[in-house]
Amino acid sequence: MKNEIIEKIHSVGKVSRIVAKIAQVVTLIGAIACLVAGVIMMFIPADSVKSFNGTASGTIVLDEEKSKMFSFDDNDNGYFKFMGAEFKVNTTEKVEGNNHAVNIDAVAVNVDGRHFKLIGILLSFAGVLFCTGLYIVFIFTVRLSKTLETCESPFEEKVLADMKKLGFAFIPFGIIQIGLTGISNVTMILMIMLVLAMINIFSYGAKLQQESDDTI
């Protein structure tokens, strides 16, 4: 029975290594593509777009429980200027039964090539950061997968060490993603906490196994 479990762990390690290797290549290509796009945006003439005016609107519908997590003021107006452009945002909340519908209307005036250029550079830089953080996670995923392919027990010291390194690799990636998407990204925070909790559980399991072996 023990050998069957170990063989399954070896198979999981092998599959994980292959998938992580493919993901590494994809994220590396993504980082290079974002970097190239950013460099291209830097050389685009600022006067490539003379003027742009536009509007956008959308509706977000939340149920009564989830709407409590957010605070919307009826007819909440936002207005700011940036490099000569004007941006206006208006939100209006409507209660429809158990649902809260939030209408969002946005207006942009006098946007030109400078703004498109800056936005393009910032988005490219954000893409490089995101792909780099994800690439680091996959590096440690590959290392852990290789260890699982040859381990005699999931509680070996090498397995636990690689698992800890993978858990800590999630921290800078989580910081990058939260920085890009905001603190509202609760999923990433929970994922990091879950990974660190699993590491502690495996460490405790290894300690119990060691005590059991010493007793025998």
pLDDT in tens, 52-94: 777 777 777 766 555 554 555 544 566 666 666 777 777 777 7
Mean pLDDT of the residues in the chain: 77
- With 60 as the cut, is the pLDDT of residue 1 above it? no
Q: State mean pLDDT over 126-143.
A: 92
- Provide the percentage of residues in the chain whose pLDDT is more than 70: 70
Q: How confident is the model at residue 11 (pLDDT cuts 50, 70, 90)?
A: confident
First-to-final CA distance of the chain: 20
The pLDDT value recorded for residue 36 is 93
The pLDDT value recorded for residue 115 is 73
The pLDDT value recorded for residue 111 is 73
Say how many domains are in the chain: 2
Based on the domain organization, do 171 and 135 belong to the same domain? yes
Based on the domain organization, do 135 and 67 belong to the same domain? no
* CA–CA gap between residue 114 and residue 174 (Å, rounded): 31
Based on the domain organization, do 37 and 137 belong to the same domain? yes
Based on the domain organization, do 128 and 208 belong to the same domain? yes
Tell me, yes or no, whether 117 lies in a domain: no
- With 90 as the cut, is the pLDDT of residue 27 above it? yes
Q: How confident is the model at residue 35 (pLDDT cuts 50, 70, 90)?
A: very high
Least confident of 8-17, 32-41, 143-152, 183-192: 183-192
- With 80 as the cut, is the pLDDT of residue 127 above it? yes
- Residue span of the structural domain in which 77 resides: 51-111
Query: What single string gives the DSSP state of each residue in the chain?
Result: -HHHHHHHHHHHHHHHHHHHHHHHHHHHHHHHHHHHHHHHHHHS-GGGS--EEEEEEEEEEEEHHHHTTS---TTEEEEEEETTEEEEEEEEEEEETTEEEEEEEEEEEEE-HHHHHHHHHHHHHHHHHHHHHHHHHHHHHHHHHHHHHH-S-TT-HHHHHHHHHHHHHHHHHHHHHHHHH-TT-HHHHHHHHHHHHHHHHHHHHHHHHHHHHHH-
Based on the domain organization, do 31 and 129 belong to the same domain? yes
Tell me, yes or no, whether 116 lies in a domain: no
Based on the domain organization, do 37 and 92 belong to the same domain? no
Domain end (from 111, 134, 160):
111
- With 80 as the cut, is the pLDDT of residue 39 above it? yes
* CA–CA gap between residue 95 and residue 108 (Å, rounded): 28
Tell me, yes or no, whether 119 lies in a domain: no
How many helices (H) and strands (E) would you count in the chain? Answer: 5, 4
